[in-house]
Amino acid sequence: MNRPNLFLLRFAVLNILALSLVVVGGMEGWIHRIIEADVTRISLLIVVMFLIGWAICAYHVNRCARELKLLSGNEPNLTEKCQEYFTMMEKAPADSRMTISECLRSSLYSRISIVRLIANNLVIFGLIGTVIGFVIALAGVDSSKIADAASVAPMISTLIQGMSVALYTTLVGAILHVWLIMCYQMLAVGTVNLVNTIIEYSHTSSQQANAQNSPRQC
């Protein structure tokens, strides 16, 4: 199996396994329990953010695999990024080609950085949910009514509700962060392979062009 197809297969296997765990959680009633307990709906916001990040990641994984496939054939086709890089290499002096290679790396990494940003924000929103949950829990506690038996039950109910929000939002944010960051790491590896393939193909093409243009010695 060639490298682009293997790259897509690994991404698919990772997400199938993660989705299987989600299905198991749904069958056990854990997802329904989280939906009922989170009155703030922060968990839903985290899920929506995750889906957006995952969709962006899946798009770039497919794009990266397609570009690798174009460059890995017997007769490689030049992608837009590859053609831009070759043009810069032809016009640049030899001592600045290393800088151009670093610019290529930065350009390809910048287009996937949004996935990592969204993954990190999932944890942040989970922590925001934790703080809001503690605020809800403490807001229902009135020290002046602790001695009143009739007021204790509502306070305990509010306390439990707030703690549920705090714990469940943290849990959802952490789990989805791990899922998305693993997808990002796989995308980052594919991007590294793409950069190396472009640079390698560029150097090989330059060497072949120099060999054809150099005068033959008698």
Q: For the chain, what are the domain ranges?
A: 3-73+109-203
Report how far Cα 79 is from the mean position of its chain's Cα atoms: 24
Q: What is the pLDDT of residue 217?
A: 44
- DSSP class of residue 78 equals P
Directed axis angle between helix 97-110 and helix 149-213, to 10°?
Answer: 150
Residue with structure tokens 């054939």?
73
DSSP-derived secondary structure for 123-144: HHHHHHHHHHHHHHHHHT--GG
3-state helix, strand, coil in the chain (%, to 5): 85, 0, 15
Contact 7, 64 (CB under 8 A): yes
Q: What is the pLDDT of residue 216?
A: 46
Q: What is the pLDDT of residue 206?
A: 54
Q: What is the pLDDT of residue 100?
A: 73
Q: What is the pLDDT of residue 92?
A: 63
Q: What is the pLDDT of residue 205?
A: 58
Q: What is the pLDDT of residue 78?
A: 58
Burial of 172 (0-12, 13-18, 19+ CB in 10 A): buried
**Half-sphere CA count of 117, side-chain side, radius 13 A:** 8
Contact 81, 108 (CB under 8 A): yes
Averages of pLDDT over runs of 10 residues in the chain (218 residues) are 79 94 90 87 94 95 86 61 66 68 79 93 94 86 66 78 89 95 93 81 59 49
Q: What is the pLDDT of residue 188?
A: 92
